[in-house]
Structure 1
Amino acid sequence: MTNRRTRPAPRPPAGTPAPAELANRARASLADEVRLTRWTAAHPGDASDDGRPGTLPAATAERAATDLRLTPGQIRAAWDRARLAGLVEMHGTSARPGWRLRAWDSDDSAVLRGWVALFDAWSLIHPAPADLAPEVVAEVVEAMPQLLSLLQLSAGPVTVPALLDLLGQRVAELRDERCEVPYENPEDAADTAGAPDPAALARLLRWALGALAAVDALTLGPKRATLTPLGSWAVWVKLEQICVAAQSPAGGNIEQPAANMLLGCARLTPGAARAEYRAWLAARPVGSAIAELLQAARGEDALLRGLAFEALRVVGAPAEPDVRAAAADPTLRPYALLWLAEHDGADPEDVQEVLTREESTWLWVDTAAAVADHGENELLVRHLDSAVRTTVPHLLDEVRAVGHPRTVQVLVALAAAHPDPALAKAVRRAAFQVHTGGA
């Protein structure tokens, strides 16, 4: 077997267009989305949602359809694609053109990143058949990278029966890998871990290929599918990311679950960590990757929370609905609000203003917990010194009131680390008061 750390990066497909040509293809693919986004910019207020965040009101869709000579259905589809590609950003209940639209005509890399964000979110473009179990849909989504790799390596049409055969094999492998509990009745095991239902897989393959065709990643012919130049390039980029990262010192993170991957990246420089995140994301479906990162963020390790949202920044637009939903979780709310503010184009110097005083304090304690668990005493002292408060006693009052579950441990660690005996004594007193419930 080839050593995974020394395997060569894949070569670009033969005849791959130049980046400028690929960017122009992406511009053509998203032409209606750009037209709609510019239309909403010229009609401020018309893109506010009607109680369903992220959707266009029916009356607005009708007006846009008339002006742009599209159907209301085409407008709604273009709106969803524009949001996934980062052309549209939601600010509360108002939609605004994103930074990517401003760079659309002049920055080829911004265009390609927007199209890749849409490609990554292909499974969100059209709903899967509603009568099929979500678990089966998730298995097919997880298996699709193997089918895309086959299409890329084939450099030409692949028949649908061949794709269906590979899909069935991959889904069966996934079920075998997950079947960890022995069954008393062998028939139960066969139902759960055996070969999947061919009819259901055939329907889901048609759905998946249709969704990928909708983002212009492939073309469909009579019983065959072929990657477009954009689709072939995108698959190659993801394979390259995986192979290059696999040869890095932290390359083993690609095959790890999210929590292990994040911890493996904890001491990397920001640029190296982002490269690892991109490779890890490229190796799995975007939807399941987002869910796994948020699950890691919900755990007890505060360091994982911060790192998970750093990885979600690499995901970009496809993560926005899940991050917005995560803002309802008190543990994740400060991180989610900062992520959303940055995603919406807030000035980095002003982004903290989206948090209330209590949320800022909660985030400060959570970050201190991460430093206490994984950092050094000097970092913990600097974290205290960096707190934006008038006095340390005032900070301690706010920390006691915010109710973070790690408050006592954080204060004890701060008291042990700080070189100023008087300040350390005040911090220890605050820790004792929180522990005993005193004032």
Structure 2
Amino acid sequence: MPFRAEEREPVFSPEELASAARGCPALAEAAKLAEWVGPGRPLTARGVLKPAAAVEACDLLGIELPTRKPRSALDIDQLMLAWFTAAAAGFVEVERGRAAAGAALETWAEGTADEVLAVWTRCTMECFGLAGEAGDPDAELLDGLAVLYERGGTISLDDLSEDIARGLSAGTPGCACPSCSLATGLLEDLAGATEAGGEIVEALAEFGVAALHGDTAELTSLGRWLTDFLFRRNAPAAGADAAALVAAVAALPDRIAALMARPWLSARAPAEAAAELISAGESVSGQQRLAALALARECGPDAAAAWREWAGDEGFGSYARIWLAEQDGTEPAETDLAWTAADALAVLQDTLAPDLPPQALSGLLHDEAGAELAEILPLLAGTGHPAADRLAKLLPVPPMAGLPGGPPPAPDAPVPPAAVRPDARYQIKVALRDVTKPPVWRRLEVPADLDLGQLHEVIQIAMGWENCHLHAFSAGGAEYGIPDQGLGHADERAVRLSQLLAEVGDRLDYAYDYGDGWEHDLTLEKILPAEAGTTGAICTAGKGACPPEDCGGPYGYQELKAILADPGDDEHEGMLEWLGLASPGDFDPHAFSAEDANRRLDQLTGPRLRIVR
């Protein structure tokens, strides 16, 4: 069927689209999985198929497994993709620990063309992160879709990759202001590198949206229908106010936001549209402000009158003055650049601070902005920006050792000086977080001047871990571990325990195995005098057996204990086999022996870890 590119309107029949939808690999596999689920399958406490059922499902779908005894269905990526797709389509419904085929499965098989297309659209939108509970939109997939749409439905893979990379890294086209160069650049760096064009097309092809013909990507009939639905028919109404438009598109990649805003922008003269958007940008903050101003820039030079109206504003007017300077070919004022930089950095801090310690955030900002920050910092206090004070406190901190662009970890990394005598001993409690019935903890006596690398070894041995995963200590916003450019940890060997714990009650966090997420709380309970003849680590008390490695963290460990305690559980025998146990009685979550822990600690050698008794 033809495609009227000038109108952006596919003319495929509903029957043709429904047939294509039923044939797309992702939903065909999801439907097959749902038919197998049938009237009901029991699920684990984490809401996925039990291991034995997961193996059966993989056989059904032709998924090869490295082992016939997987620990969890969550470890099988291809199966989980099919499971998520089935749930998004409504082919599978979950209730009270059981999954059953959903009503949408019958619609998919016997419904009208319009009903089938509605199921496909809902599922695809959710899997692309545009609906439901899927989370943030998939920037690379959506940008690839937008490029194909803008290019009339066909493009070479090389051009597709270049366009996507340009769109994800360039910020607002033609804009040199710090709010674009800092905010957009850093957020996209954190999101990860752009996938190759071929990989994006393959992902789109799973949902029947695109096809690959040699080195050329092409929108399918479904892809043309979907892009028209997204970028034209599903765009914010032309009569909506600017605030509603901005709220609707602020979370989307720039290219997608611009496409969806076209009907709204086309319904207004450039100066009128820009005036509404700039006013909306002044009244909001964060990413919505940046989105509003990016759309205002889409209005082009004919919107100059709107920008001039804001040029007299002391703070927010910096955006207008920078825009006007660009039109005149002159250099923007440094104070204006500093104000917009502060605005962008405040957005970044508000976005990233919940997930990053201040020192790591500072390192990322320095790595991204580098020389620009050096110019901005002296001007920051005089900008009058509401966030200037908190940014000034954050930004002077040098990049954390080990972060990209930061200095390599140094043995003399600056840390607080020791506040106790080097020959003192500490009584510390190491407690495993979120593990109960029974809790798991150890009370240790250790030299106060242990470095954190040695403390890591003591904790591993006393707890009963096998030291086969990554770890890190954290205190005061800084992280210490094995120095590595990719991990961003300061060198744990350069820091003494007494430099981080100086007073009774002080605490230190210790994380082990980032996959399972075992978090430990270290608390200084007592500062002890040195004892003649005792120079190493001693375990004086404790409770609870150490969980098995790779059992899924606190939640997985809770599930493991429940399975072992229930001989009727479908996973009971498989779990015994995975643990290498003959009977459930061989595993005692309460088991702990200070003598055994000290016997293992006796084997730990080092300049200050010789156990003398």
The TM-score with structure 2 as length reference comes to 0.32
Higher strand share: 2
The TM-score with structure 1 as length reference comes to 0.43
Higher relative contact order (CA 8 A, sep 6+): 1
Greater C-alpha radius of gyration: 2
